[in-house]
Amino acid sequence: MRRAVITGTGMHVPPRVVTNADLEKVMDTTAEWIQQRTGIRERHHVDPGTGPADLACEAARRALEMAGLEPDQLDAILVASLSPHHDFPGISAFLQERLGVDNGCPAMDIRCQCTGFIYALQVANLFVASGQYERVLLCGAEVHSTGLDMTTRGRDVAVIFGDGAGAVILEPSPDPDRGVLSVHTHAQGKHARKLWVEAPGSVYAPRISAEMIEEGRHFPYMDGRFVFKHAVSRMPQVVHEALEHNALSVEDVELFLFHQANLRINEAVGQRLGVAPERIYSNIERYGNCSAASIPMLLDECVRAGRLEPGRLVGMAGFGSGFTWGSALLRW
Ligand code: UT7
């Protein structure tokens, strides 16, 4: 099989910044608590009328520009997200419309929550490596803010999430040594209800009721400590799996990009792996947890800051609702 390589990256966040001090005004929390427990100082929230397809479109345009491609040259469009623009069709259909792509290329959503980008990268990589497609756009895009309980009842979850999008373009690598080396993904559905949004759900008729809304069952629920505990063990595990698969060691990896759920989680993951903090890039303090968008946003910032030189190894890992977790290794 040929190898797929990332030829363009992009990211976009909505302009409105919500600081920890802003949250103090609407719920019983403190800026210190949020910063100490999560590392987050601020996040971006959309204004009404902006959805994940809009954020993805901006990120995708930047990635296309870097790759030197026009939108209608795309052979496939993938979007990873847990926050659909509408119930159906998926975000990818609205993104295709916004990009003005009318060449009949497939458009597909992948719903694997905070590990969504890694899962979608696995699919996009196989599309390119197998020879099925030449130019694949992969976006991670989330609008969390419109679905959060911004009162004290929802404070544990509301303070951590932010809105944003990241995008990459995958194409066949002209150099067989460079590109995506491996992607590993896992899930453990028995913990699905430890981090979920219950309603609306097709299992209910009607899918949501006034009573459910009253009870807040349309807001995310998270057993924070339980999720935390699993994240800090699963991420190192799946990074080791990737390294062993490629006969590489932690020292070989120039830069680690971990899902931005909580700075303390990533510090613990770094310690368990024995990685110095300067080799773990982080932007959670500015954007919060953008779920499937977090990793491509990190990647775009690193690429544009010149932190990745050709030939260097990049390690990615994520953990999230499902539970799902995964890792990817790329030679830049
Ligand atoms: O991205 C997908 C995966 N998600 C994650 O990986 C998130 C994992 N979990 C976490 O990041 C952390 O569990 C949280 C940041 C959500 C919570 O931090 P924690 O250190 O685990 O706090 P806790 O849930 O154990 O709560 C400690 C205390 C509680 O008060 P009592 O019972 O000790 O009186 C909470 O009610 O902190 C309270 N608390 C808050 N206080 C101020 C919870 N949220 C807040 C808040 N502001 N926003």
Catalytic annotation, pick one of 112, 114, 139, 290: 114
Q: Does domain 4-172 have CATH number 3.40.50.720?
A: no
- Residue whose CA is closest, atom 36 of ligand 1? 156
Q: Report the SS3 class of residue 316.
A: strand
CA dist., res. 146 & res. 150, Å (int): 10
Query: What is the position in ligand 1's atom list of the atom closest to the CA of 158?
Result: 48
- Cα-to-centroid distance, 294 and ligand 1 (Å): 20
- Residue whose CA is closest, atom 21 of ligand 1? 225
pLDDT confidence of residue 241: 98
Catalytic annotation, pick one of 184, 289, 290, 302: 289
pLDDT, tens only, 195-244? 999 999 999 999 999 999 999 999 999 999 999 999 999 999 999 999 99
Cβ atoms of 135 and 73 closer than 8 Å: yes
pLDDT, tens only, 126-168? 999 999 999 999 999 999 999 999 999 999 999 999 999 999 9
Query: Which token pair is 214?
Result: 């009253």
The CATH architecture assigned to 179-331 reads: 3-Layer(aba) Sandwich (3.40)
The verdict on the CB of residue 231 being under 6 Å from ligand 1 is yes
Give the mean model confidence (pLDDT) for residues 39-68: 98
Q: Report the SS3 class of residue 318.
A: strand
> What percentage of the chain exceeds 70 in pLDDT?
100
Give the mean model confidence (pLDDT) for residues 184-189: 98
Query: What is the position in ligand 1's atom list of the atom closest to the CA of 157?
Result: 16
- Residue whose CA is closest, atom 28 of ligand 1? 156
Look up 283 and say whether it is catalytic: no
pLDDT, tens only, 10-46? 999 999 999 999 999 999 999 999 999 999 999 999 9
Above 90 in pLDDT, residue 1?
no
Cβ atoms of 255 and 312 closer than 8 Å: yes
pLDDT confidence of residue 261: 97
- Cα-to-centroid distance, 78 and ligand 1 (Å): 33
Query: Which token pair is 330?
Result: 């790329």
Look up 114 and say whether it is catalytic: yes
| Residue ranges per structural domain of the chain | 4-172, 179-331
CA dist., res. 124 & res. 108, Å (int): 11
Is the link from the previous residue into 220 a cis peptide, with omega within 30 of 0?
Answer: no
For 304, residues 6+ apart whose C-beta sits below 8 A from its C-beta are 9
pLDDT, tens only, 68-94? 999 999 999 999 999 999 999 999 999
Model confidence at 105, in pLDDT bands (50, 70, 90)?
very high
- Cα-to-centroid distance, 138 and ligand 1 (Å): 32
